Structure formats: structure tokens, C-alpha cells
Structure 1
Amino acid sequence: MILRAYKKVFIAILLVLFSLQSYRGFGAEHFYSPGKPEELAEKLLAAMSDEEALAQTFMLGWVGADPSPAIIDWIQKRHIGGIKIFGWNTEDTYRLANTVGVLQKAAQQSDKKIPLLVATDQEGGWIRHVKGITSETPGNMAIGASGVPRDAYLSGYYIGRELAALGINMNFAPSVDLFTNQQSVLIGPRAFSDNPVTAGILGIAFAKGLEKAGVIPTAKHYPGHGDTELDSHGILPHIQANFETLWNRELLPYRMLSKEGIPAIMTGHLAFPNTRGGSEPASLSRWFITTILRETIGFKGLVITDDLLMNGVTIPAGSLSRAAKLALEAGNDILMMSKTPNLSDPVWNNLLDAMKREPKFRERVRDAARRTLILKLTHLKGDTAPPLFPQADEIKKRIPDPQGKAFFLDLAARSITLVSGTDPSPLEPSKAGKVLLAASFEDFLSVGLLAYPNAQRFKFSYSEESSPQDKLNFQSQAKQADTIIFCLANGYGVDLLQSIRYSGKRVIVISALSPVYLQRVTWNTSGIAVYSYSRESFIAVFSALLGRIPMQGKLPFAMKNLGR
């Protein structure tokens, strides 16, 4: 009897201990436990310390191809929410995939097994942070020129398939900034259009394509970076639009995207002094993020900051640490930083101290962690989620995407736009006479030689600084030519072209990137826009010159005269 009694007590104690251990670790809920995202997120959050919750709001970058000891420490010791991949990490595609696997393995060593958000900027066209063997694509403005939402969808889809093969599960795209200020050196061909409805429709389609590929889309740069020629990397732009203008222009794509369930939005370091946001960065503004985006527009997803190491936010805030706290208080859920701070940096210590001293701030941080967990549980589980540990054989099969390569060439062909002058096609080599090809891009010159095998080449630097010697050499070669086919990408190209303005030669200007520079060389025979320096875009435009395909693109914005 006594032994049976002891046995019952012993079993009861074991059950209690097991119950406690289940809650505190052994057998506890983890990321891959069954359950709906919202319910499992609550259970995970309940088991988190304040340090663990705060860590979910951190997304950090690092310098170099291989993961630094510092980023490994942040993952293993703090269990941060995500990493951001920049161009300096990506020249070797297979090395990058291995790095993603190493970092996810470090994240999986925690008891809750919460994977990292692995993010990058792969908008297409001009902005392509993941380089190596990934596809170069015509980009957003080319999609706007084709005017076909399916082109936006498939662009997102094929870009997403390549990212997913590398274990990248979040893309900071689409960019739905409008091409309002045509002197902008930051937006340019990253915009779909200057029309907010067009940008909204194409942005939705692009985002749906990314999601189909298993990658989380992120619309940017809220409230809108298109109406300034300044770059928030170096300074805080002040945009003078009032709220009524913003609501019907820059905010319209976000209103449309929110209704379609976009899962994430990135905030930009931009000030709008003629609104209630005042002169502080919108990325730190509770009015812009909580009142307008959350409460008025009704956005339910994740809000993430643009890089907090930009001068456009750290200078107004006074420090990185203060910018981070203001960003969370405003309603951002993830703090993104392009470099890895020290583990003891004030950006961490001050936030953690504030959680201990300020109950309201603590609740805000834990709410941000909850949103991050829900996003991960929704998108990073199941058959469509990108792999945690990318495989080399899959990369060989999927990058560059075979179907994507054919599609991007078709898109480039549909986007070719005759902007000024007369259509010079078909310009067969026999009709062109002596041809001079001039460009900063080797792909333009090599593709041009396939079309005009006897052409001469003139390669000049991609620079904004005028070179007298370049002008002399260009003028000298131009004298020997009957037809000059010139690739224009910036103001320096305009200066070179102006040096042969009165030469009497047939000049065909092919605009790569922003076509606004064509308005400054309207004396030329023909101005044609391709919107990108991808090889596919150059193949398409030379095919058009030879008369193989029509120039059917439509300029996706109203050209404004920038002067001569």
C-alpha cells in the first residue's frame, strides 16, 4: 500500500514537472508546431522574454561575402528576426546560397526554431542587389511601357523563383514610387509610371507574382519617394505636397495594395511639412504610420523601416539609438540596418532598458514581434516556402530561370518606345553606311556588333564628370561615320552628344534607364527608350532597328521639358 501511494505521488510529480518543462522549453511550442499563424504566434510570444521579443524586430546586414562573426553572434545569442542581403554580399551566387544556409542553421539552434526573414532588394532593372548569375531584367518602367499587368505579375514571379532558390524569402519590391519629379536620380526607371492608378495596378500584379513564387513582397517607399530629386541616403528630403495631394497621388497605390492584402510595407525617410507629419521623417511619424497607414488606410501587415543608417533619419533623430526607438513607437515592426552593430551597442541596450521602464513601449515592441511572427508563420511554412538550406543542384536548374529568360526578352521587346523623331527601322547594315556604336555598356556594344558587324565602337565611362579627351575622341570617330547609334544613360552622355550636334550625321539615341534625357537632345534623328541596360533590352532595341519587331511601347509618363 505504501509503495503504491509513493508510486502515485511520484507519477503526479513527474506530470507536473513535464507540464512545466513543456511550457519552458522541453516539448514546448516551436515554429513548426501545428496551429493557425495567429494562435501559434501568441503561444510563441507568451514564451518569449523581452530580449527575445525585441530581437525579432531587428534585421541586420553585414559587410563581405561570408557571414561575419558579429552577425553570427546576433543570430545565435540574440535570435534576431532577420537579415538583409546587399550587393556587396552577392557576387558569387553559390557562396551566397551557402551563407544563407549557414545563417538559417544558426537560427534553428534556438529552442523555438524561428527562421530568419532573409530579405533583399531585387526590384528588377536598375536595382538588382543579388547579382552573380541571376537574371538582369528590363525593370519597372519597361513594364509601365508595355502597360500589361501580366508582365508585372510574371516579372515578380520569375524574380521570386530565383530568389527562392537561394533561400531568400522576402523582397523589398515592388517600388510603387511615382515618377513625379523627373529630375530624381534615385527613382527614375524604378517607377512604373507617374500615374498612381497604373502604379497601383502594376504593383499589385508584381506582388502577386512574388507571392506565387513563395517570396514575401514589400511595397516601398511609403508614403512615396517620387516627388523629390534628393536622396534620403544623404539628406532628409522635404516634399511640399499637402495631404490632399498625397492622398490622391502617392498614397493611392498603398491604398490599393492594402486592399489586396500586401503583407509588408517599407517606410521611407521623407518629410512632408505641409501635412500633420511635419518636418520629421515619415519613417518616425506615428501620424503617418499608425494614424494614416494603419487606421485610415486599414493596412494589417508588417511595417519595416528603410535602412536606419541613412543620414535622412539618423541626423534628424540625433542618433541611431534614438531613431530606432522613435521608429518602433511610430508603428514600425522591424528595424532594418545595413551594417552589424556591436552586441553591446546603445541601439540594443537603450531599447531593452526602455522596455523595462516604459510599459507602453514594452507592449509596442511585443506587438511588433507578434506581427513578425505571424508573417513568418504565414509565409515561411509549407511547400511553397523557400528552403532554409539552398541546394546547389537546384540553383543550377533555376538560376537564371530558363522560362524567365525568354519572358524578359519578350517584355523588353514589348517595351521599346519611339519617344522622338521618326522611326528609323528597318535600318539594315547596307542602308546605315559606316556605323559608330557609342556606349558605356559593353553589352550594348557587343549586341550592336551582331546587328552591324562592320561598325566601329566607342566606349566611354559611366560618369557624371565631363572629360575633354572623351569629347575629342568621340568627335574624331563621329567624323568617319554615316550613322551614330548612341546609348544615353545620364547627363554626361548628353554632353557628349551635344559635341556632335552640328555634325550633320544621322544620330539614333537609345535611352537606357530614365528616358528624360532624350528631351535634351531633340535635334537627333530618333530617340528610342529601352528603360534598362540589360542585355535583353539591347537585343530587343537592335532587333527593332533592323525591322524585326515593331516599336510598340508607350511612354509611361508625361515628359516634362527639362531644358537644353
Structure 2
Amino acid sequence: MRSGARPIAKTGGPRFFPLAGAVLLFLVAAPLMGQKSLEKNENSFWGKTEPFYVPDRLKYSWAEARAAALVARMNDEELLSQILMLGYPGQDAPAELLEWIARRGLGGIKVFGRNADNSLALASAVADFQSASFEQELAIPLLIATDQEGGWIRHVKGRSSESPGNMAIGATASSRDAYLSGFYLGRELRTLGITMNFAPVLDLATAPESSIIGPRAFSDDPVLAARLGIAWARGSMAAGVIPTGKHFPGHGATDLDSHGILPSIEIDKSTFLRRELYPFEQAVRAGIPAVMSGHLAFPRISGGEPASLSREMIGGFLRDRLGFEGLVITDDLYMEGALDGADILETCLRAIRAGNDMLLLSSAPSEEGKLWKGLQTALRKDRNLKAIVEGSARRVLGIKLAYLREGGRDSLIPNPAAVEKSLPDADAQVFFADLARRSVSVIGRRAELPFAPQGTVLIAAPFDEFISLGRRRYTNSRGFSFSYRPERNAKPEELEAFKKALSGCAGAIVCVANRAGMQLATLAHEQGVEVAIVSVLSPIHAAHSPWSKAAIAVYHYAPICLEAGLDVLTGRLKPQGKVPLANHLIR
């Protein structure tokens, strides 16, 4: 479904198509497409083919056969290029990378936040990248991927919609909300030419105080997280964007950031199977087409190496135990959780041998650099490695054939006029504003609402928008701005200034995003002031505040969420959500 498409009315949406099934559906329509201009090179990705019936028992689809034929025509450089997904600096497509693509092809391009502040510039860069891929002899298109989870993680900004995020969906526990979130986020991405999203997050909020996962998770309940993750992925598929479950086998039980360190999760196999692995197991059964491997160590299960570099995790658990046959892509291999003191060449080779099909690199290798030369040398010298790379390239091509070929080349080139007309998506904005209002949750058993102190109210937040919105609703108020960071402890000088600002106030509304923000709320209570808390991001920081008149969770600091939270405080809106942290005491 392309930009302008509407969501499927049925709440559950269609099941994912297994790779073969998606292609067989395509084969019915292919002869009618009549795209003779795309068939000039019969041996290219777009070359004309004759459909044929394949009995299920043969377990060999047209996509696999076509992918194998393409791989057989590739040289070593083209093979290696197909298993790479590369980032790039700035807004424009670099000339060196365009030349690389036109000469060798490439598996994909990763769009980071640094590339995506300007939607029209992003669409232009995507068009340049895809056009370069069509110049190569085999004309294999690129997977264009990003991280657009919703809520806090929104790499594509610009004209895209803000949404409440996954934990807000968990607060409604609605598969429909999950489906439509995946759909609307996907529809906006597809308008920009982005065909793959590193979402849904299948991690659990096992350590909800974490500033790494936290509200990016749907819940700490594996059953709820699995159900919502699958629905979210189905919505993404309906919008024409390939979903990618992450971060296998689960990043939620640590507050350490794998960008800077290798987190070690000390759990036994029994806990791992029933908790971390469960959402991935269910997503695989539902047919999710891609999974991202995470840089996490599970010493009691697979030793001290990162799961992303572990044959036991990728080959043993994901492939063999769960039966996953789709695409496995690493998280960025330049993260310290993957490198862990090693060089990037060694890390890439370990990732390939562990069973990953694509290597995500936030920085493209130089043609004459150690990484690119080293990969080619290793491929020439090691027949086993080459066989692994050929298998991975076939999977990459298989997913491209199944999900990128049907609409033809033009469907992969974003239209600037459509970007200006369609973004932000009006239907998406209506839906996300409604979700923000329905997901507001009371933290604890009670809340004295409306919050209406008899006197001046101090509205304190690390976000100017919150203060502005709050002062419109509480006319007898004044504002106090404090720092978002450091996250664990408020600055002493800000605590002192806040204490002075409380003088003469009857009440305080504190926007709490982290432990530091909660220290200000606690200080207000200690000064004898009535306190209301609006928790953004993880509600765990306000979990133990029975002294507050009201503590409510909105899960994100987007304006639509802040407005909804303040409307609950003033009594304009009734809280309908439920904090989705079943395994953690909330007040």
C-alpha cells in the first residue's frame, strides 16, 4: 500500500506473508504489469520472468530461484555489497557512495536522524540513491531503512508526525492502536521512499527505569508486548514498509547503553525463554520478515560475547529453535557493544559467521580502506565464508524481490510533490492525538482530580512547551525551567532556585522525565506544597509518590501528550489508560 492508502478496516489486519507466499501473490499480477521498459536486461532484478506453479512440498519459491540466479552472476565485490547497509553524513547523497552503488550495487542505506531534518532533502537523497542502483548492471534496488519506532525514537523528523509511542499503546492494550500506529508511521515513511523500518521494538520494559529502552517497549509483560508488536508490524506491512523486530534477543533488562558498552544480562535460560525470547518467538510464528540482532551479552546462556556476534544466539536460538527464515540484520557494528575493543574488520567477519545476513555500518567503508580490502581478501581465501555470504545475499535479494519489485522502479523513487502534499499525514495526526488522550494513565490507585490548589501554581518542566501549555490552563501560575540532564541527579543550583521559586505557591505541577525531575517534585512536597506530577517517558520514576495529589503518565514529551496530561489535571479529560508495567509496583 502506497502513500494515500487507507488502513485495512479489520482490526487484526492480514497475517504476514511468508517470503514465498508474498512472491506467489506477486506472480499472479506480474504478467499484467506490462512494464516493458523494465525488462531490457532479462537477467537483471527487473527482467521479465515466466510464472510457474511450485508445489508447497518443494519448499522452493520463485524468489529463492531468482535470487540464486542473481547471486550466481555476481562477483565478490557485488556479493559483499549486497550484505551491507550503510549510513551517510549530512542531508545529500555523497558522490562517493553514489559511485559505489552504481558500480557494485548495495544492500541498503540507513537513514539516521542527522540525515532527516528536511523531508524534501531526504526525499531527494533517497531518489538519488535508488537511481544510482538502477545504473548498475543487475539494477538491484536498495533497502532504505530508518528507526521510526514512534514516540521518543523518531529518526525521520521534518514533516513527519509525532506520536505517543509504544508504552502509550501498551496503556490502551489495543491491537487496533498498535496496528494503526505501524500503519500511519509506515505510510509517511513510504511517501519518502523509505521501505524498511527498524521497528517494532520487541524488548520488554523489564528495567523500566532505563533511559535506553524504557517507554520504547510496549510493556514488561511478554504476552502483551508480543501481541502489540505483531499488530504494529502488520500495520507497517499494510503501508508497504518492511518491519524489523528488535533488538534480538532482548535489550530491556539493562539500563546500560550498547552504544558505549556491552551490557551483560545475568539471567538463566528458563527466564530467558519465557521472558526475553517470547515476543520474538511469537513474531516469528506470525511471519515477521526481518529481525535486528542486538549487542547484548547473556553470560549464563551463550557466554560473554554479544548476541549479535554469537552463533549460538543467531544460529541456535533464532534460526534453529524459533525457525526464523527471514532476514537478520545487525545493529550498528560501530557501537562499542559490538566492537568491545576489537577492530571493525574482525567484528564484521564475526557477525557474518554468526549468521547475520546484513551488516549495518553507520559509516561507509573507503574503497581503499582496511575494512573493504579485508573483507574481499577474507572472501577469496575462505570458501566457507564465501558460501555464508552467498546465502546471506540470497536472503537479501529474496526480501527485495518479495517486497520491492511489484510496484516497479518508479514506486521506489519519492515524489517531492507528494511529500509536500501528504506530509504530515492528516489522518495520522488525528489518530495520534486521539491515542495520546486515550492513553493517559493514573499512576497508582487514586488521583485527586481536578488538581486545583487555592493559590499560585508553579509549573516546572525541562520542556518550555509544557510550561507554556500549563500556564494557559492555570492562569494564576508562573513557570520554572530546569535541565533535562543530568538525568540521575538534579543540579544543586537548580534545586536551590526551585526551592526559592516555590515561595508563596499553593501548588506545583512538575513534569518528570527522569530521576532528576522527580527530585524537584519531592522537594516541592517537602516544602508543604500540593504537588501534581505529569510523568513523560517511563512512569517508574513517579512510582513511589503516594504524597502527590495526582500522578499521571503520558509516556512522551510530544505536545499532543503534554496537552493530554494537562487536560487530565484540569478535569477536561478523564484518564482512560492503564500503566502497562504489570510486574513493577506503581505507588
TM-score, with length taken from structure 1? 0.91
Quick check: 1:121 aligned with 2:137?
Answer: no
Counterpart AA for 2:347 = A
CA contact (8 A) 1:237 1:271 kept: yes
CA distance in 2, matches of 1:385, 1:405: 30
What secondary structure sits across from 1:500 in the alignment? helix
1:66-145 to 2 correspondences below 5 Å = 66-145=92-171
What secondary structure sits across from 2:366 in the alignment? coil
Counterpart AA for 1:252 = Y
Counterpart AA for 1:468 = P
Which of 434, 441, 463 matches 2:485?
Answer: 463
State the match for 1:11 in structure 2: none
State the match for 2:520 in structure 1: 496
State the match for 1:32 in structure 2: 46
What secondary structure sits across from 2:276 in the alignment? coil
1:29-428 to 2 correspondences below 5 Å = 29-35=43-49, 36-275=62-301, 277-315=302-340, 318-383=342-407, 387-420=411-444, 422-427=446-451
CA contact (8 A) 2:508 2:524 kept: no
Structure with larger Rg: 1
CA deviation digits over 1:212-248, x for unaligned, max 9?
Answer: 0000000000011111121111111111112221111
Counterpart AA for 2:582 = A
CA distance in 2, matches of 1:215, 1:272: 31
CA contact (8 A) 2:490 2:517 kept: no
How much does 1:454 deviate? 4.2
What secondary structure sits across from 1:259 in the alignment? helix
CA distance in 2, matches of 1:432, 1:37: 69
CA deviation digits over 1:358-400, x for unaligned, max 9?
Answer: 1111110011000000101111122499943212221123211
Counterpart AA for 1:300 = E
* CA pair 522-76 structure 1, distance change in 2 beyond 3 A: farther
Which of 466, 488, 496 matches 1:472?
Answer: 496
CA distance in 1, matches of 2:107, 2:519: 48
Counterpart AA for 2:136 = S
CA contact (8 A) 2:160 2:188 kept: yes
Q: Which moved more, 1:60-69 or 1:405-414?
A: 60-69
How much does 1:520 deviate? 4.7
Q: Which runs of 4+ in 1 moved over 6 A?
A: none
CA contact (8 A) 1:458 1:474 kept: yes
What secondary structure sits across from 2:412 in the alignment? coil
How much does 1:560 deviate? 4.0
* CA pair 421-437 structure 1, distance change in 2 beyond 3 A: farther
Which of 461, 472, 476 matches 1:439?
Answer: 461
How much does 1:456 deviate? 1.4
What secondary structure sits across from 1:59 in the alignment? strand
State the match for 1:7 in structure 2: none
Q: Which moved more, 1:163-172 or 1:383-392?
A: 383-392
How much does 1:435 deviate? 2.2
Q: Which moved more, 1:33-42 or 1:407-416?
A: 33-42
Q: Which moved more, 1:506-515 or 1:453-462?
A: 453-462
How much does 1:401 deviate? 1.1
CA distance in 2, matches of 1:385, 1:158: 23
CA distance in 2, matches of 1:519, 1:362: 53
Quick check: 1:549 aligned with 2:573?
Answer: yes
Counterpart AA for 2:314 = I
Counterpart AA for 1:411 = L
CA contact (8 A) 2:40 2:47 kept: no
CA contact (8 A) 2:79 2:393 kept: yes
Name stretches of at least 5 consecutive residues in structure 1 with no aligned partner: 1-24
Counterpart AA for 2:204 = L
CA contact (8 A) 2:209 2:541 kept: no
Name stretches of at least 5 consecutive residues in structure 2 with no aligned partner: 1-38, 50-61
What secondary structure sits across from 1:420 in the alignment? coil
CA distance in 1, matches of 2:450, 2:81: 60
CA contact (8 A) 2:521 2:533 kept: no
CA contact (8 A) 2:209 2:538 kept: no
Counterpart AA for 1:347 = L
How much does 1:195 deviate? 0.9
CA deviation digits over 1:444-475, x for unaligned, max 9?
Answer: 12322332244312122211163333223322
CA contact (8 A) 1:123 1:172 kept: yes
How much does 1:48 deviate? 1.2
What secondary structure sits across from 1:501 in the alignment? helix
CA contact (8 A) 1:157 1:211 kept: yes
* CA pair 562-205 structure 1, distance change in 2 beyond 3 A: closer
How much does 1:324 deviate? 0.6
State the match for 1:537 in structure 2: 561
CA distance in 1, matches of 2:572, 2:74: 62
CA distance in 2, matches of 1:189, 1:34: 47
CA contact (8 A) 1:165 1:386 kept: no
CA deviation digits over 1:331-378, x for unaligned, max 9?
Answer: 100000111221122222222212211111111001100000010111
Which of 508, 531, 538 matches 1:484?
Answer: 508
How much does 1:111 deviate? 1.4
CA contact (8 A) 1:159 1:210 kept: yes
How much does 1:314 deviate? 0.9
* CA pair 442-237 structure 1, distance change in 2 beyond 3 A: same
CA deviation digits over 1:481-506, x for unaligned, max 9?
Answer: 22211100012212222332322221
What secondary structure sits across from 2:376 in the alignment? helix
CA distance in 1, matches of 2:529, 2:323: 58
CA distance in 1, matches of 2:308, 2:410: 29
CA distance in 2, matches of 1:76, 1:383: 21
Aligned residues, how many?
535
